[in-house]
Amino acid sequence: MTLDHLKPGKRGKITQIQGEEIMQARLSSIGMIPGATITIDHTALLGDPRTYTIQGAQVSLRNSEAELIEIAAA
């Protein structure tokens, strides 16, 4: 499952980051690394972007970025 399918209030564990190397580096720099636990906190009115909590920090991602992050149930 990818991060863009995570339901509000649910938690997932990052298993893999897809996409170009530069995007993988950007996501890694904000804490999106395999093994990290992530929760969805808020979705914008039109569904994009969404705010997540990862490693104690809040991060907003567009759905197109969240589709690159593979997760498993935590």
pLDDT in tens, 1-41: 999 999 888 999 999 999 999 999 999 999 999 999 999 99
Domain of 16: which CATH number? 2.30.30.90
- Buried b / exposed e over 14-32, threshold 16 CB at 10 Å, is beebeeeeeebeebeeebb
E strand or H helix that includes residue 70: strand 69-73
Question: Domain span at residue 13?
Answer: 3-73
Q: How many domains does the chain have?
A: 1
| pLDDT at 47 exceeding the cut of 90 | no
Is the pTM above the cut of 0.75? Answer: yes
